[in-house]
Amino acid sequence: MKSRSTTFRLAAVVSAGVLALSACGGGEEENTDEGGSNGGDNSSESPAAEGDGTLTFGSLLPETGSLAFLGPPEFAGVDLAVQEINEAGGVLGQDVVHVRGDSGDADSGIAPAEVDSLLSANSDVIVGAASSGVSMTVIDQIMDAGAVMYSPANTSTDFDEGDYAEPDLYFRTAPSDILQGAVMANLLIEDGRSNVAILARQDAYGETLAEQVQTNLENAGSSVAATVFYGENAQSFDSQVEEIAAAGGDALLLIGFEETATIIPQLITAGAGPQDLPTYFVDGNTADYSADSDPSLPPGVLTGTKGTIPGADTAGEFQERLLAIDPELTSFAYAAESYDAVITSALAAIAAESDAGEAIADALVDVTKEGTKCTTFAECAELLASGEDIDYDGASGPIELGETGSPTAASIGIYEYDAENRNAPVDYIAGEI
């Protein structure tokens, strides 16, 4: 049950030494270019995205790979937005079109070929990827083709730095890990944790988020008992678990992905499981670990464990609309962000009177701020048709895109696990970056 919603203004400073590439609720291997330039191997030449009168969305979201649990709600968000846009008359007099693609993960390396297919299908806007690491392998490929890349889940700080700090064709509806790191540190402090042990994947996602949390904890006068990293493809976690158990922390922050289900039993054996050491997750591993979804964890082992997931409250009527699209949904993570990426793109196309990617990009920021408030596609489209400047506030929150294409205001949900190892939201923290 949601208890309340809290708002604060975040005044965070990223230290000069911070590793700037992280990943949404599941990142992948870092592309080694410093400063965010030349994100990946983009030797594949794709057809240029040009307006043809039909706004086409390509989705590059995880059907397979380590983030596949995020795929269903993200696809549902896209499908719901496309349905509602077309029910309201479409864009530029035509129904919008959705073409699905699988982002996989960095290990599978399928994203560049999937992007080629999406661009060949005349995609003007590609919604994805979920993982910042995967996005970095295709960002230049997509932008060089003149299409908009619009992620519902990238949290890397790198997209606002280096070459990508300038306005371009990249946008996202998820806030950077600057906000999630601050919210997690604040949650730990509010819960009375003053000496936190951190166990994290040794990749861009884990290192960046661990550093953000540690910086915020130490700035508030708390300490970090130990920061222990494990290899992203590790098969054993024995030494890391032993180090955490011996660290003497009063809480554990575990920053991981699907390997969490393997690590938790080892922590329990070492006397550092969630019932011995209060445990906290992040968006990459705040998943459903109930017997129906993950029988590897006995019921009750996660009772009281908390986690953070970027995103606003999607309960109630919006959830019902999503379930009408996909009745099998058990998670709604990043569904609202996916929905809003499609809605704002469609509104930008109307404002620009063009479905071309570059025209949409030029209008995207403006439809999210400093205009007449509106909250549905139909309402906003009607205002645009009457010549109004609009400020769309969506299912994921106020959005308020900045010049770099990232939200300057967003929400982080705080979730807690019950005796069946299922999580539910207990709070939402709204912050400005």
Q: What is the DSSP string of 265-277?
A: HHHHHTT-STTTS
pLDDT of residue 9: 44
- Whole-prediction pTM: 0.80
Q: What would the DSSP string read from start to end of 105-144?
A: -TTT--HHHHHHHHHHTT-SEEEE-SSHHHHHHHHHHHHH
Question: What burial class does residue 44 get, using C-beta atoms within 10 Å of its C-beta: 0-12 exposed, 13-18 middle, 19+ buried?
Answer: middle
Question: What burial class does residue 43 get, using C-beta atoms within 10 Å of its C-beta: 0-12 exposed, 13-18 middle, 19+ buried?
Answer: exposed
> Residue 78, Cα to own-chain centre: how many angstroms?
14
427: amino acid identity, one letter: D
CATH architecture of 178-313+412-432: 3-Layer(aba) Sandwich (3.40)
Three-state DSSP at 425 gives strand
Q: What is the pLDDT of residues 15-27, one digit of tens each?
A: 322 222 233 433 4
Instruction: Kindly report the number of other CB atoms within 10 A of residue 150's CB atom.
Output: 29
As a whole number of angstroms, the distance between CA 274 and CA 287 comes to 15
In the numeric block, the tokens 């982080």 are attached to 412
Please say whether the beta carbons of 115 and 126 come within 8 A: yes
Cα separation of the two ends of the chain: 27
Domain residue extents for the chain: 34-174+317-387, 178-313+412-432
pLDDT of residue 90: 98
Instruction: Kindly report the number of other CB atoms within 10 A of residue 194's CB atom.
Output: 16
Provide the token pair at 33. Answer: 């270019």
Count of residues making up the chain: 433
SS3 readout for 155-169: CCHHHHCHHHHCCCC
- CATH number for the domain formed by residue range(s) 34-174+317-387: 3.40.50.2300
313: amino acid identity, one letter: D
Q: Across the beta sheet with 306-310, what order do the strands follow?
A: 4-9, 423-432, 409-417, 306-310, 279-281, 251-255, 195-202, 223-231
Please say whether the beta carbons of 280 and 244 come within 8 A: no
Provide the token pair at 184. Answer: 């997690």
As a whole number of angstroms, the distance between CA 98 and CA 422 comes to 32
Question: What burial class does residue 93 get, using C-beta atoms within 10 Å of its C-beta: 0-12 exposed, 13-18 middle, 19+ buried?
Answer: exposed
pLDDT of residue 50: 65
As a whole number of angstroms, the distance between CA 76 and CA 74 comes to 5
User: Please, what is the angle between helix 71-87 and helix 317-325, to 10°?
Assistant: 100
pLDDT of residue 72: 96
Please say whether the beta carbons of 22 and 153 come within 8 A: no
Phi–psi pair at 414, nearest 5 degrees? -105, 125
Please say whether the beta carbons of 405 and 382 come within 8 A: no
Question: Which residues, including other chains, have CB under 8 Å from residue 109's CB and lie 6 or more apart?
Answer: 137
> Residue 231, Cα to own-chain centre: how many angstroms?
22
178-313+412-432 matches 34-174+317-387 in CATH topology:
yes
Q: What would the DSSP string read from start to end of 30-67?
A: PP--GGG-S-S---S--------SS-EEEEEE-SSSTT
Instruction: Kindly report the number of other CB atoms within 10 A of residue 432's CB atom.
Output: 16
DSSP state of 69: G
Phi–psi pair at 95, nearest 5 degrees? -65, 145
Instruction: Kindly report the number of other CB atoms within 10 A of residue 6's CB atom.
Output: 16
- Bridge partners for 347 per DSSP: none
pLDDT of residue 42: 40
- Bridge partners for 429 per DSSP: 6, 412
Preceding peptide of 129 cis, ω within 30°: yes
Q: What is the pLDDT along the chain (433 residues), one digit of tens a residue?
A: 333 344 444 433 333 222 222 334 334 333 333 233 333 344 345 454 567 999 999 999 999 988 888 999 999 999 999 999 999 999 999 999 999 999 998 888 999 999 999 999 999 999 999 988 899 999 999 999 999 999 999 988 888 888 888 889 999 999 888 899 999 999 999 999 999 999 999 987 899 899 999 999 999 999 999 999 999 888 899 999 999 999 999 999 999 988 999 999 999 999 999 999 999 999 989 999 998 877 889 999 999 999 999 887 777 899 999 999 999 998 898 999 999 999 999 999 999 999 999 999 999 999 999 999 999 999 999 999 999 999 999 999 888 999 899 999 888 999 999 999 999 999 998 888 7
